[in-house]
Amino acid sequence: MAQRTDPEHPGASVVTNYTYGRSVEEAATKARKVLERPDGLYGDQGMYRVVEVVEESPSSELRQQEGARRRYLTTILENAITTVRGREPDNPDAGLVSRLDDFFTRAVTFPDPHSSGAHPRPHQATFGWTSEPPGIQHASDPGRALALFLLAYLDHHGLDLTAASAPGYLNREGRHPADHDGAEEGSEASPGLIERTLAVCEQHYTAVTGADSTQWDRELSHELVGVALRTVRLADREAYPQALEEYLVENRARLEKLWRVYGPAGVFPQGVYHLVELPESFVLCERIDNAPRWLKGVWGRECESDTPLERLEEAWRYGTSEGDGR
């Protein structure tokens, strides 16, 4: 790789020459023999000088991508600092800045949750790269710069961040927190909760499909509802059947379309979208919308094949919207 030495030279700022050789040294020697002549690209009269010699291999693309990513982050950092300088918000809340720094670090600086290093536990939200133990925050210069940038932007427009209230079904009067006896997130749900959740599914499934409950495999239904409930946080489980009820009412039209298009009388061969023919598909749809990665993780450990869930997710996400053409 050669870089232009004279800014006024009309050629490219950087040029790359490829030479085949049995080693980097041999390839570099061959390149110089041709290009370092007095009238050559790298010669005394030339306008370029060699700045890097690398061996192309399967890892080269990753190296180049990482270099591009670092240059991109440098640009983000410089632009954010330049924009905010002189407009910094007065006395920003340290906790809020830290949380926003954490967000931008996960979303922009280190956005790949599948990279090497620590990985999230199944019950942890995978907002970008996540580490152990639960709750640890990640900071970076670009993340902090973007956090201050956002706060300055909101302040410029007279806006402020306020704490969002929890959904109504989590704050109902008379709700008693369940005693989980030290249970961990992702643990099995109680038989009573499984039964209550399945009852909600069956009620709405019958209303949507008109299916006869005597045809259902209740043992399988209990098993799959149990899988879904593993992805409900312990603090939310007691109120979950009511939350599911509200979700199913709100998404009634989508559920009807799911049955019409993907059910046994739909346009696809029977059995292709097997889960659609089961009442527990309704709780799975809710989990696909609200805990997709956690659900995939639990499903992958508890069930023999990922295909049924993948097909249900495909149908629910992309086949039930108003504009999908069906």
Q: What is the pLDDT of residues 32-67, one digit of tens each?
A: 787 777 767 766 556 777 777 877 765 666 767 777
Pair type for strands 2-4 and 48-50: antiparallel
**pLDDT over 70 (residue 234):** yes
Specify the higher pLDDT residue, 200 or 139: 200
Using CA atoms, how far residue 240 sits from 138, 206, 291, in Å, is 31, 20, 13
Average pLDDT taken over every residue of the chain: 78
CA 250 to chain centre: 25
Residue 313 CA to residue 319 CA, distance in Å, equals: 9
- Exposure string of 47-81, with b = 16+ CB inside 10 Å and e = fewer, is bbebeeeeeeeeeeeeeeeeeeeeeebeebbeebe
What tokens does 258 get? Answer: 């799911």
Q: CA-CA distance, 80 to 97, in Å (whole number)?
A: 15
Helix (H) or strand (E) holding 259: helix 252-262
Specify which residues 48 forms β-bridges with. 4
| pLDDT tens-digit map of 4-32 | 777 777 667 777 877 877 888 888 888 87
d(C-alpha 193, C-alpha 237), whole Å: 8
Category of 89 on φ-ψ map: left (φ > 0), alpha (ψ -120 to 50) or beta: beta
Q: Which residues contact 151 (CB under 8 A, 6 or more apart)?
A: 89, 92, 96, 97, 100, 161
Average pLDDT over residues 108-114: 65
Q: Is a pLDDT exceeding 60 seen at residue 172?
A: no
